[in-house]
């Protein structure tokens, strides 16, 4: 009887940790996308290594669905790059948070 309880506790602990890791990963992805959109909006120096790194990671995380250049929404005219980044990467950040929370709730014991 004690053996079965130990296995159940270990399984619950594993599921809890996995749910926490998934949620943290989703938050980090959303953070990269939000900071990337902010850097575009602030017209940050893209020659800077840190800015380039954040924009490159955000570009990978957008999965080409929420791309700055050809995403769900595309704007023309003045400040089109800023509008595209804020809208598409903002939506991608929200999508990561929603999917991360749903997965976290499904996996959590």
Domain segments of the chain as ranges? 2-107
Q: How far is CA 85 from CA 38, 49, 55, 99, in A?
A: 8, 19, 10, 20
Q: What is the mean predicted confidence (pLDDT) over 52-79?
A: 92
**pLDDT above 60 (res 75):** yes
Q: Is the pLDDT at 58 greater than 80, yes or no? A: yes
Task: Give the DSSP letter of residue 42.
Answer: T
State the Cα–Cα distance between residues 43 and 57, nearest whole angstrom: 17
Q: What are phi and psi of 57, to 5 degrees?
A: -65, -45
pLDDT digit string, tens, across residues 35-50: 999 999 999 999 999 9
Q: Is the pLDDT of residue 31 over 90?
A: yes
Q: Report whether pLDDT(3) > 80.
A: no
Whole-number pLDDT of residue 7 = 60
């Amino acid at each position: 009887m004690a053996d079965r309880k130990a296995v159940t506790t270990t399984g619950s602990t594993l599921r809890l940790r996995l749910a926490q890791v998934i949620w943290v990963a989703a938050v980090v992805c959303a953070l990269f996308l939000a900071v990337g959109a902010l850097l575009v909006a602030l017209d940050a120096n893209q020659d800077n290594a840190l800015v380039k790194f954040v924009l490159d990671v955000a570009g990978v995380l957008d999965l080409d669905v929420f791309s700055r250049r050809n995403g769900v929404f595309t704007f023309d005219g003045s400040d089109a790059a800023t509008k595209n980044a804020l809208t598409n990467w903002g939506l991608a950040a929200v999508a990561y948070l929603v999917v991360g929370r749903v997965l976290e709730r499904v996996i959590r014991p």
